[in-house]
Amino acid sequence: MYDFLWNLASFVVALGVLITAHEFGHFYVARRCGVKVERFSIGFGPAMWRHIGKDGTEYVLAAVPLGGYVKMLDERVDEVPASQRHLAFNQKSVWARIAIVAAGPVANFLFAIVALYFMFLIGVPSVRPVIDSTIAGKAAESIKIREPMEIIAVSGQTVRNWEEVNLALVSHIGDDNLQLTLAPLARLQGDETGNRDYRLDTRTWKFDPDKESPVTALGLGVMRPGILPTVAQVGKDSAAEAAGLRVGDELIAINGENYSSWQNFVLQVQSSPGKTVELIVKRQGEQKRLMVTPKAEKDADGNTIGLIGVMPESAPWPETMRIQLEYGIVDALGAAVDKTWQLIVVSFKMVGKLFSGDVSVKNLSGPISIAQGAGSSATYGLVYFLGFLALISVNLGIINLLPLPVLDGGHLLYFLVEVFTRKPVPERVQEIGFRFGAALLLMLMSIALFNDFARL
């Protein structure tokens, strides 16, 4: 229940901030263009709070925080007194209307810059993207790893941590190939003599983001710190909990064999679905004997395996692997602009790949997934929550630019037609477009919600 409430609260905060930024863009430019704004609402439904400003605008905070709107004076919607016709949206030039409508998505992009600026100003703890192996049968199997190698660029785009690597890789889904630039982990700063470029054939590269990352799907073995024989987490209602295993227990032996590695331990558990196994653990200096029966579950390939529901403790990352993405007051702005541009480019590419079929509609996420992401990022701290806000803000801006008549992009499409034809698109045509756009948007939202429930 706590996780649900935390995710919900984080979701409401995130959505409220992003919607406010989007609608303020419309509001601000409309006012600058001389349009009278009648209502500025955050949320839909009954008003929880309202205030009439000195400018005559009604400011509303509504009960359903799933959107917002700016109601402008418009002769197409209501009757407008002759004395106020010059303040109506529809009386403004087509370029003014384009500016007002485009201001929402632009505000989302600007908000992303601001969020990332403070994120880089605070500093982002990161880990260098180092690989120590490749996986047979995958696109990267042609790379022969003899020592730990750091990924420093993906198709010419510099990367510094795993988040940037994943973002760069995702943009190449559906492409015929991509290039990885690797460097020895122990290289001196500025020394490029050991750098190696590898061209990978990615025509058959596919991955399910619910099951694996683009890194492992490509066949790259991520270098990780050592795994300690200490239990760090025990799942609720798991076989381990039922057997009395506790956080902090040190694994000594399983079925009479001394513990050698976490990998071997997992293999023995997985090979014993429904069969009781004997564990010897050390707890507060004393050895204890526990009998645990792994629960039988199906893996991704449909095989029956045993699971007991524990996670091991990892050794800390060595200092040579840690980096801090932190900038000064001036440099942080440049980094934020560059990062926002990367997010915009990747988002546009993903939309294109979605419609081309290179990316499955199963990858669409809805409000449940967004709420979980908001809660997780907020749990990790402010710097990660700011990064999450920036990502969702960019995506909100991109979605609103899609040429669907119910979205800002659809209105912009009509206005561009008006620019070239020098007359507005007939209202009958607009009405048909709105209905088509609403149906398509509803279908996409339904698919996203279905995917959300399937992931629960």
**Residues assigned a catalytic role:** 23
Name which of 357, 392, 353, 361 is nearest 374 in CA terms.
Answer: 392
Angstrom CA distances, 396 to 23, 109, 120, 341, 363, stand at: 12, 9, 22, 14, 16
Can you tell me the distance from the alpha carbon of 136 to that of 175, in angstroms, rounded to the nearest whole number? 21
Which residue type is seen at 399? I
343 in Cβ contact with 181 (< 8 Å)? no
Cβ count within 10 A of residue 26: 25
Name which of 395, 455, 413, 424 is nearest 15 in CA terms.
Answer: 395
123 in Cβ contact with 397 (< 8 Å)? no
The packing angle between helices 94-122 and 331-356, to 10°, is: 120
Question: What DSSP assignment string belongs to 58-88?
Answer: EEEEEEEEEEEEEEE--TTTS---GGGGGG-
Residue that has been written with the tokens 């990998």 in this structure: 263
**Is 54 in a helix, a strand, or coil?**
coil
Residue that has been written with the tokens 């790259």 in this structure: 220
Angstrom CA distances, 37 to 28, 31, 49, 444, stand at: 10, 7, 18, 31
Angstrom CA distances, 422 to 28, 243, 337, 411, stand at: 27, 77, 36, 16
Convert 389-417 to b/e letters by CB count within 10 Å (16 or more is b): bbbbbbbbbbbbbbebbbbbbbbbbbbee
Which residue type is seen at 368? I
Q: Is the dihedral of CA 293, 297, 300, 305 positive or negative?
A: positive
